Structure 1
Amino acid sequence: MLALIAGPGALGAYTLKDNYTPSSFFSMFNFFTAGDPTHGFVKYLDQATAASQGLISSTASSVYIGADHSNTAPSGRSSIRIQSKKLYTHGLFILDLAHMPGSICGTWPSFWTYGSQQTWPANGEIGESSFRVHTQAMNSMALHTAEGCTTSGVNQTGRVQTGNCFVNAAGQSSNAGCGVESTTPTSYGTAFNAAGGGVYATEWTSSAIKIWYFPQTALPRDIASGSPNPSRWGVPQANFAGGCNIDAHFTNHQIVFDLTFCGDWAGNVWSSSSCSALAASCDAYVANNPAAFAEAYWRINSLRVYQSS
């Protein structure tokens, strides 16, 4: 179940606004079919083509979003990128996944929100879950902004990777943003799937952006009951707060699911990864090994949007 809840979590009182049920899920998103902004080796499909090729489907209880794993792909592997039709400022995003793309060489899956390609990074970007590439073992969470936003990395369980959210910050790799790595081994990819999936919850208020991860076996009762209250959840994995005016840097975000391949991140680190033993380049591996991507799919239990009462 994915939930977006607006308002201060300390109040713990929320009203359901938007319910992205499996039956209506795809009608509430736009299918992105332009060239990948991150220069991935990918071909994003429209809804009709994706459905006809079996790359999207839904049941009464879940939604499937996958990538082609049957054909060689000399011009880029077919995949999906969807962006919500509705925009959100502030909220608590709760993503309940049965499965995320596995830890597979060449992959770069992401669940995130951002304030449009035309204004990026002025309206900010929040990378919540599955923000990793190749066979990396644990989730990475990050914010990306224009200049003037930093975080302190206190009151969180994750490890600070970078502290300046500005995409061109000195002393950080390009577009690193401010990043936090999870310390939970089941937080990403193959290990996440083997554990039966889990829940990511991201609270976005004027004072901070906080991200929690819960295995399915440790899901708070208030999330399961549909009345989430972040004030009861304990220390988050990431607590993006400190030297950042949140409202000045984050506004009018779309919800995005995507799976790209290679590109600006996965492609650029191919030669330094263990995956480099498999092929001379990331593009070559992705093009010629379709069966490797059978586990490169999202299985989403639901998406809900709550706002403060």
Structure 2
Amino acid sequence: MGWENTPAQPKAGPASFQVRDTDGPVEMVTGPPPYYSTQGQDYSDYPRRNMRSQSAAPWWNPRSWSKKTWAIVVAAAIIILIIVIVVPVEVTKANRYPNYTKLNYALADEYSGTTFFDKFNYFVGYDPAQGFVHYVPREQATQLNLTYASEDSAIIRVDTSVGPESVPDASTGRFSVRLESQTQYENGLFIFDVKHTPFGCGTWPALWLVDPANWPDHGEIDVMEAANKATDGNQMTLHTTDGCSMDVKRIMSDSSLSNDCYNATDNNAGCGVRGSAATYGSAYNDAQGGIIAMEWRNEGIRVWQFGRSNIPTDITAKNPDPSSWGSASADFPNTNCDIGSHFKNQSIIANIDLCGQYASALYASSGCPSNCTDYVANNPDAFTSAFWEFGRFEVYKAT
């Protein structure tokens, strides 16, 4: 009945026997169990079966991980590296900001009193920005009463004498003035006392700095600018060649309009910042104006506006200290703009343009009647409020 291990043992054949049943004999076949040879077999290495389940390898043992698990682990490691290394770098980059250390300033130049206009050249001819004006020389401006100065104020006006019945009339443009300082500046602190700003349908006045012979290579700094009814407040803007952007950390109180200063972007919109309604136009004029200060240094360009009742005492004492003035109205840091290479040899310019590229583009949306050039040509009385009144300009250099 057991297994036979002897190889020479003959295999048993079937054996038969008979069993009688009541119905007759029945033949049954029987024999020994099958023979299994174990010669030469070594069962010592065969796996032993265990009725209990084998315990799985711990999850933290990499030898037990599948390819899918490895892929997940590698992806997680990459994400962690990005968080640990890349994110801090980007955060640091986003928070870069120049060090506006305090500078000591001394008065270097001044435009004031009855000689205010003596340090300016009068630009003569048609406007480079396609304005609907004839810029007149000093003699004609004086004759038409477009520029005049007293001990306290200097006035720049648009002509209000030429109407549609005049000969010649204003059908090719109205008389106006554009002043350009004879001195050109690089860096400094500029203090402008502005008592009245021009406004009205068709107007495009500006107080700005530029190198007229090298625009846009030497940049442009718009300190005060508006168009038509000027109800939106003052706009402060930089215009440059390529490679000057303000999509960086800035510390200022007014609102950014655009971050790309490149003159070929968005029809030369520049990187502008807009102040509140009280910073330009009728609201500003009703409050007797104020001081606008622009600091230009390698770290950046900043502009502050102070109402007449809120002028810092260090300005009135001619010892200005921008570090004590708090956040600027407009901040143009050098983070992504090399100020030193983009801005050079700037003249101070004050003008009152009419229509032109900017005011014409905004004319209809400003709620102004007719079209810009027809309105300007035929309505001289509409420009009685279109004048600048300045107190004094002061230019300070760092010592």
Structure 1 length normalisation: TM-score? 0.91
Secondary structure of the corresponding residue to residue 156 of structure 1: coil
AA partner of residue 147 (structure 1): D
Q: Work out whether residues 153 and 239 of structure 1, in 8 Å CA contact, stay in contact via their aligned partners in 2.
A: no
The answer to whether the aligner puts 1:30 opposite 2:124 as a matched pair is no
Q: Work out whether residues 218 and 344 of structure 2, in 8 Å CA contact, stay in contact via their aligned partners in 1.
A: yes
> 1:34, CA displacement in angstroms?
2.6
Task: Tell me which protein shows more helix as a share of its residues.
Answer: 2
Structure 2 equivalent of residue 262 of structure 1: 355
**Greater radius of gyration (CA):** 2
How far apart in 2 are the matches of 1:16 and 1:139? 26
AA partner of residue 132 (structure 1): A
Point out where structure 1 has 5 or more consecutive residues left out of the alignment: 1-7
How far apart in 2 are the matches of 1:233 and 1:80? 33
Secondary structure of the corresponding residue to residue 113 of structure 2: coil
How far apart in 2 are the matches of 1:92 and 1:293? 32
How far apart in 2 are the matches of 1:109 and 1:230? 27
Q: How does 1:51-130 map to 2 (within 5 A)?
A: 51-72=142-163, 73-102=170-199, 104-116=200-212, 118-129=213-224
Q: Work out whether residues 227 and 358 of structure 2, in 8 Å CA contact, stay in contact via their aligned partners in 1.
A: yes
Secondary structure of the corresponding residue to residue 186 of structure 1: helix
Q: Work out whether residues 92 and 203 of structure 1, in 8 Å CA contact, stay in contact via their aligned partners in 2.
A: yes
Structure 1 equivalent of residue 230 of structure 2: 136
Secondary structure of the corresponding residue to residue 268 of structure 1: helix
The answer to whether the aligner puts 1:240 opposite 2:332 as a matched pair is yes
Q: Work out whether residues 10 and 229 of structure 1, in 8 Å CA contact, stay in contact via their aligned partners in 2.
A: no
Within the candidate set 239, 243, 248, 1:148 is matched to: 243
Structure 2 equivalent of residue 308 of structure 1: 398
How far apart in 1 are the matches of 2:142 and 2:128? 23
Structure 1 equivalent of residue 291 of structure 2: 199
> 1:10, CA displacement in angstroms?
4.0
AA partner of residue 173 (structure 2): G
> 1:11, CA displacement in angstroms?
3.4
Structure 2 equivalent of residue 293 of structure 1: 383
> 1:65, CA displacement in angstroms?
0.9
How far apart in 1 are the matches of 2:153 and 2:377? 29
How far apart in 1 are the matches of 2:268 and 2:393? 28
How far apart in 2 are the matches of 1:229 and 1:191? 28
Higher RCO structure, 1 or 2 (CA under 8 Å, sep 6+): 1
Secondary structure of the corresponding residue to residue 373 of structure 2: helix
Change (3 A) 1:87 1:106: same
> 1:119, CA displacement in angstroms?
1.7
Size of the aligned set, in residue pairs, is 292
Task: Tell me which protein shows more strand as a share of its residues.
Answer: 1
The answer to whether the aligner puts 1:190 opposite 2:282 as a matched pair is yes
How far apart in 2 are the matches of 1:112 and 1:153? 25
How far apart in 1 are the matches of 2:366 and 2:209? 28
Within the candidate set 139, 152, 156, 1:48 is matched to: 139
Structure 2 equivalent of residue 220 of structure 1: 312
Q: Residues 275-306 of structure 1, C-alpha deviation per residue, up to 9 Å, x if partnerless?
A: 1xx21x10000111111101111111011222
Structure 2 equivalent of residue 4 of structure 1: none
Q: Work out whether residues 101 and 295 of structure 1, in 8 Å CA contact, stay in contact via their aligned partners in 2.
A: yes
Point out where structure 2 has 5 or more consecutive residues left out of the alignment: 1-98, 164-169
Q: Work out whether residues 100 and 299 of structure 2, in 8 Å CA contact, stay in contact via their aligned partners in 1.
A: no
Change (3 A) 1:158 1:290: same
Change (3 A) 1:48 1:153: farther
How far apart in 1 are the matches of 2:249 and 2:381? 40
Greater displacement, 151-160 / 202-211: 151-160
Change (3 A) 1:49 1:153: farther
Q: How does 1:155-166 map to 2 (within 5 A)?
A: 155-166=251-262
> 1:9, CA displacement in angstroms?
7.3
AA partner of residue 177 (structure 2): I
Identity of aligned residues (%): 37
Change (3 A) 1:256 1:35: same
Structure 1 equivalent of residue 77 of structure 2: none
AA partner of residue 63 (structure 1): A
How far apart in 1 are the matches of 2:174 and 2:373? 9
How far apart in 2 are the matches of 1:10 and 1:68? 45
Structure 2 equivalent of residue 5 of structure 1: none
Q: Work out whether residues 9 and 229 of structure 1, in 8 Å CA contact, stay in contact via their aligned partners in 2.
A: no
> 1:135, CA displacement in angstroms?
1.4
How far apart in 2 are the matches of 1:10 and 1:51? 44
Secondary structure of the corresponding residue to residue 279 of structure 2: coil
